[in-house]
Amino acid sequence: MKTTVRSIQVVMVGAAIAFAITACSDGGATPDETGGSTTAEMSPEAQAALERAYEGIGSDLADLAPTASGDALNLYVVSCGEQIPGCAVPAAAAAEAGEIAGWTATVADGKLNPEGFATAIRQAIAGGADIIVPIGIGCGIAQAAFQEAVDAGITIVGGGGVDDCEPKLWAAQRLWLSDYTPIEQWNAFGQLQADYAFGKTDGDVKPVVLNFTGQVWGPWITDGFLAELEELGGSGEALATIDISDPEVADGSFVQKVTTALLAEPDANVLIVPIDAWLTNGLAAAIVQAGLDEQLLVVSRAGDAPALDLIRQGGSGIDATIGSAVEWGAWGSIDTALRVLAGEQPVDIGESMQAIDADHNMVDSGSYQGSVDFRDLFSTAWGAN
Q: CATH number of the domain that 336 lies in?
A: 3.40.50.2300
**Residue 86 pLDDT > 60, yes or no?**
yes
List the strands of the sheet with 297-302, edge to edge: 240-244, 207-212, 270-272, 297-302, 320-324, 353-356
Is 307 in the same domain as 190? yes
Ranking 29-33, 115-119, 134-138 by mean pLDDT, the lowest is 29-33
pLDDT tens digits, one per residue of 236-245: 899 999 999 9
Task: Based on the fold, state whether residues 212 and 310 are members of the same structural domain.
Answer: yes
Tell me: do 258 and 151 sit in the same domain: no
Pairing mode of beta strands 155-156, 131-135: parallel
- Distance (Å, whole) CA 139 – CA 296: 36
341 plus 277 within the same structural domain: no
Q: Are residues 84 and 95 in the same domain?
A: yes
Cα torsion angle, 100, 94, 168, 178, sign? positive
Confidence of residue 15 (pLDDT cuts 50, 70, 90): very low
- In sign, the C-alpha dihedral spanning 25, 237, 58, 275 is negative
Residue count of the chain: 385
Q: Quick one: 97 and 124 in the same domain?
A: yes
Average pLDDT over residues 110-135: 97
Q: Is the pLDDT of residue 36 over 90?
A: no
Asked whether residue 221 is assigned to any structural domain, the reply reads yes
pLDDT level of residue 4 (50, 70, 90 thresholds): low
Residue 126 lies in a domain: yes
The Cα–Cα gap between 205 and 23 comes to 17
Same domain, 136 and 249: no
- Residue 309 in domain: yes
Please indicate, yes or no, if residue 5 is contained in any of the structural domains.
no
Number of domains the chain is built from: 2
> Is 306 found in the same domain as 206?
yes
Residue 85 CA to residue 316 CA, distance in Å, equals 19
123 and 245 housed in the same domain: no
Pair 175, 103 in one domain:
yes
Please indicate, yes or no, if residue 278 is contained in any of the structural domains: yes
Whether 11 has a pLDDT exceeding 90, the answer reads no
Assigned domain for 366 exists: no
Average pLDDT over the chain, rounded to an integer: 90
Confidence of residue 23 (pLDDT cuts 50, 70, 90): very low
3-state secondary structure of 95: helix
Structural domain that includes position 141 = 74-180+326-352+372-382
Confidence grade of residue 385 (pLDDT, cut at 50, 70, 90): confident
Task: Give the per-residue pLDDT at 297.
Answer: 98
pLDDT at 82 over 90: yes
Q: Which residues of 343-354 are buried (b: 16+ CB within 10 A; e: fewer)?
A: eeebbbbbbbbb
Confidence of residue 294 (pLDDT cuts 50, 70, 90): very high
Residue 29 lies in a domain: no
Q: What's the pLDDT at 235?
A: 80
Predicted confidence (pLDDT) at residue 133 exceeds the cutoff of 60: yes
Residues 86 and 132 in one domain: yes
84 and 97, same domain (yes or no): yes
**Phi/psi of residue 217, each to 5°?**
-80, -15
- DSSP-derived 3-state class of residue 209: strand
In a domain? residue 37: no
